Amino acid sequence: MPVVLHMDGYAGGKAGMGSDIVAAAQYYGFVVFSIGNNLKDGRGGFGLQFGNDGVANDDNPTPCSSRDSREIEFLRVVFDFIADSPTLLDASKVFTEGFSQNSMFAVYTAVCFADKVAGTWQGGSGQARTGSNPVVPGFQAQCSFPSYASHGRGCCNYDFCSQCQYWPLWPKTCSNKIVDCIATYTDDNIACGTDWYMYEAMTQEGNDARLLSFPVPAGDSSGGHRSPKNKWAWVAGCLGIAPQCSSSCATSFHACVDGASDGKSYDKFATCEKQLKAGLLSGCTVGCAPTLSMLQRSESPVVTLSEGNFGLETGLPAAGGSAPKPNCKKPFGPFSTGPGPRPKCTPPSNYTAPPISPKDTC
């Protein structure tokens, strides 16, 4: 069975159990490991330790050694357990997943163990850049962990991290290509912009990036710092955790949505997904992962596929270069281009962000 490592840095790995992820695991047929740490000594009480005190730069783009993070040895044991359980677990289909800071740790794990991970889902995050908006709530990429621990939100004024360039790391995976599904609402002032940074970094390193930039759902006042509606359908579909729904199933699903009486598109999707799960849609296999066209009946993100792949679908339009910048409610980019969303960071007056050119660590 496929495996999903669900990152749960705030509740010590306990919050995932009994939540919607368990229902998703039962339906799509995967095994879930909830990954956490009870120390809770990170920013905001986050227990999973990022590499090198949060300092990543071109000289050390992937701080993934056991000296960099106490979690590396623990994660190595998890991956060894998966590899040693071939009758139950499929070591070729291991995925990481999380939201916000948890999704930053999901991509940290995926890159550090790129030879063991097929893909990752980043909800409400991407990659923070030093000297650029948006500034993430824990000021990562602007301040090291010890600096923030000492100075809090004033760390930029007292101890700006001039040796930082990005956070949590640069996605240098060498010959181990991974999939990164990056999903953010355009009015998410914490994450919109970081999603684009990570997409660009992933594609620069030859990874298969899939950027999903969600506008505010029709009829709603906000999307905000939240996962998309019908999240696990998006996760399963984008990563290809389960076999893809057939074209005949997609046809039946579209007809169902067309006839649904719910007021909002994502509610219509949920209604028809219930019918699919109950085995009531012609041509559908219970447990199949929705195609992109099916998911677009829930919400209509701007979709950028670096290689024209979505889940197990291939041959879709490929970006062939940079992704269009998301239409963020608050502008993002270097501090010099203007004010961004809160929180604010003022670097030293003589600071200039160096060009990014990660050292070849392969």
CATH number given to 3-244+299-337: 3.40.50.1820
Lowest mean pLDDT among 37-46, 257-266, 334-343: 334-343
pLDDT at 225 over 80: yes
Residue 129 clears pLDDT 60, i.e. is over it:
yes
With vertex at residue 267, the alpha carbon angle to CA 266 and CA 271, rounded to the nearest 5 degrees, is: 120
pLDDT at 152: 93
- H-assigned helices in the chain: 20-28, 71-83, 101-112, 145-151, 155-159, 194-204, 231-239, 247-259, 265-277, 292-295
**CA distance from start to end of the chain:** 30
Of the candidates 71, 11, 7, the residue with the CA atom closest to the CA atom of residue 34: 7
C-alpha separations of 74 from 11, 30, 222 in Å: 17, 21, 38
Helix, strand, or coil here: 321? coil
Q: What CA–CA distance (Å, rounded) separates 105 from 122?
A: 9
DSSP 49: P
* Cα–Cα distances in angstroms (integers) from residue 19 to residues 2, 260, 341, in the given order: 19, 27, 31
Q: Would you state the pLDDT for residue 12?
A: 76
Q: CA 112 to CA 72: how far, in whole Å?
A: 8
Contacts of 141 (CB under 8 A, 6+ apart): 54, 128, 129, 130, 135, 161, 164, 165, 166, 167
Question: What are the pLDDT digits (tens) for 85-97?
Answer: 999 999 999 999 9
| Band of residue 340 on the pLDDT scale cut at 50, 70, 90 | low
State the pLDDT confidence band at 18, using cuts at 50, 70 and 90. Answer: low
- Residue 19 above 80 pLDDT? no
| Number of residues in the chain | 362
Domain ranges for the chain: 3-244+299-337, 245-288
Q: Is the pLDDT of residue 289 over 90?
A: yes
Q: With a cut of 70, say whether residue 224 has pLDDT above it.
A: yes
Spatial separation of the C-alpha atoms in residues 97 and 6, rounded to whole Å: 5
Helix (H, G, I), strand (E, B) or coil at 69: coil
What are the pLDDT digits (tens) for 22-49?
Answer: 999 999 999 999 999 988 888 888 889 9
Which residues have C-beta within 8 Å of that of residue 256, sequence separation ≥ 6?
Answer: 271, 272, 275, 281
Position 286 scores a pLDDT of 98
- Give the pLDDT score at 344: 84
pLDDT at 43: 80
Q: What angle do CA 288, 289, 294 make, to 5 degrees?
A: 110
Q: What share of the chain is helix, strand, coil (3-state, %, to 5)?
A: 30, 15, 55
Q: Taking 70 as the threshold, does the pLDDT of residue 123 lie above it?
A: yes
Confidence at residue 44, expressed as pLDDT on a 0 to 100 scale:
83
* Six token digits for residue 160: 């700006």
pLDDT of residue 239: 99
In the structure, what pLDDT confidence band is assigned to residue 169 with cuts at 50, 70 and 90? very high
The answer, yes or no, to whether residue 103 has pLDDT greater than 60, is yes
Which residues fall within 8 angstroms of residue 350, CB to CB, at 6 or more apart? none
Write down the pLDDT at residue 17.
57
- At residue 339, the pLDDT reads 64
Is residue 315 scored above 70 in pLDDT?
yes
| C-alpha to C-alpha distances, 196 to 39, 82, 154, 335, nearest whole angstrom | 32, 32, 27, 16
Identify the pLDDT of residue 155: 95
Task: Give the integer Cα–Cα distance in Å for 121 and 44.
Answer: 22
Smallest Cα–Cα separation from 358: which of 128, 93, 59, 134? 59
